[in-house]
Amino acid sequence: MTRQQPLRFGIIGDADIYRRRFLPAMQATGSACMEMLGSRKADVPDTRIGVETKPAQGSYDQVLNAPDIDLVYIALPNHLHEEWTIRALQAGKHVICEKPLGLDLASVQRMVAVARSEGRLLYENITYLHHPQHRMVREMVATGAIGTIRQLRANFCFTQTKMDDFRLNPALGGGSFQDQARYPLTAALYHLSGQLDRFHGTARYRDQLDVAVTGSAISSAGELFTFTIAFDQPYEAFYEIIGDHGFIRLDRAYTTPAELANSITITSGDRVEIRSVPPADHFHLMIEHVCRLITSGQDFAAEHHLIEERAATAERMRRGCLRSLS
């Protein structure tokens, strides 16, 4: 598929992340345009969408049946990802689905199998990695700035205060693990050279919901990985890569605002260096990346393999770490 006109998006679910980040990023790119918003309240006029977009509104099924939509972005509660991803793929649409793509490995494998049979792209929306700061960190490590990697520490914590949020309902695929674990895990998969295994950890539960998880693993290259995620702790979103003669720290690693310049701290002995990172909109960069994948004419085998490998590691992580402290 090679084309010059923008790819036409349909949205299933009008979640907050779509409103705050996805739609503004799409409006800023020439690679995509929004055609239709699918909502459970399709018969209610929506005044929250910017006037300049003026998308059609309809039901989820109307989005899938629309012949002029190339790609569907699914921003639904976690337990609905598999059903609507498969339905979108079978309707001939490419799909970007919010993380976690599936609640377990088997779910992801079923979705990937359909994507392969339909010849469509299935993309799990791990958006933060498109920010150039992560490539900068990787390049610093590659040049020997901290020596050989020995460990990666990663935390992502915040206080979840919206009590009606699906993330606080285990029946809807909620919980700290499903909502947050993909962040430290994908940071480790991005920077470490070995395959992660031998996960061990503990979880804190409230009303059958995991609200905090901490754990560790070791890679096949002997690299340690430790992490903490939580719904009930003060905000922190960082990772540190520790080498045999220094370490690199990146704060606001997963939630960097598009307008914010960030910084990377490199420490080696008594020497501390801070390198600036220009502002970047990782949602915008993600949309551009997905559009290039679709319009390049290449197959999607590498992306689908990556999704399955990530899900397999997440499965080992879940089985090893979701154990109650009580």
Give the DSSP H/E element, type plus range, for residue 124.
strand 122-125
CA-to-CA separations, 255 to 128, 135, 191, 231, in angstroms, rounded: 7, 16, 18, 15
Enumerate the H helices of the chain as residue ranges: 16-17, 23-27, 60-65, 81-90, 105-118, 132-142, 176-180, 182-191, 282-295, 301-321
**33: amino acid identity, one letter:** C
What is the Cα gyration radius of the chain?
20
Number of residues that make up the chain: 326
> Is 41 known to be catalytic?
no
Query: If we measure between CA atoms, which residue out of 86, 57, 90, 56 comes closest to residue 74?
Result: 86
- What is the signed CA dihedral for 77, 318, 138, 141, rounded to 10 degrees? 160
CA-to-CA separations, 41 to 38, 51, 80, 84, in angstroms, rounded: 8, 19, 17, 17
Q: Which of 41, 54, 93, 99 is catalytic?
A: 99
Q: Which residues of 132-145 are buried (b: 16+ CB within 10 A; e: fewer)?
A: ebbebbeebbeeeb
Would you tell me how many other CB atoms lie within 10 Å of the CB of residue 287? 25
User: Phi and psi of 260, rounded to 5°?
Assistant: -100, 125
CA dist 69 and 120 (Å) reads: 13
CA-to-CA separations, 300 to 111, 122, 293, 294, 304, in angstroms, rounded: 14, 8, 8, 8, 6
Q: Which residues are catalytic?
A: 99
